[in-house]
Every structure is written in C-alpha cells, then in structure tokens.
Amino acid sequence: MHVVKTICISGREGFPDFLKVGKEYWIDLDSIYKDKDSIYVRVYEDAYKQREVGNALLSHFSCYSL
C-alpha cells in the first residue's frame, strides 16, 4: 500500500463538490492507471483508505513528498 498525502490544486469542472481546491487528500499510488488520454488514481479522504472519494485525474493533485 503506497498512500501519499496530497493537496488538491484543481477541481473537477462540472462537479464542484467532488474535489475541493486546497483540501488534503490521500492517493493510492498502487491504483494508478492510464487510458489513451490521461492518468488516474484512486483518492481517499484519510490515510487508512476508509473514506473513498473515487477515481480522479492525477493532475488534480500536488504531492507533499514521494
């Protein structure tokens, strides 16, 4: 399990309640996948992966450290 603390740097257009800019989220690096256009990751509100937000573009987040 590779969960990394991040901060949201951009929201999802058309879904203002999905991600909040400036809020901290945890992403699971083991869940990263790529389609033909973008890279996605599973997002959580906690480090223990108990409150899942869903899948989002990796570009919505900035990592504190890797």
The per-residue DSSP string of the chain comes to --EEEEEE-S-BTTBTTT--TT-EEEEEEEEEEE-SS-EEEEEESSTTS-SEEEEEEGGGEEES--
This prediction has a pTM of 0.86
- Looking from the CA of 60 toward its CB, the CA atoms found within 13 Å total 26
pLDDT over 90 at 66, yes or no: no
pLDDT of residue 1: 65
Closest CA to 63 of 34, 11, 32, 25: 25
Q: Please give the residue that has the higher pLDDT: either 28 or 14.
A: 28
Average per-residue pLDDT for the chain: 91
Contact 46, 26 (CB under 8 A): yes
pLDDT of residue 41: 96
pLDDT tens digits, 33-64: 999 999 999 999 999 999 999 999 999 999 87
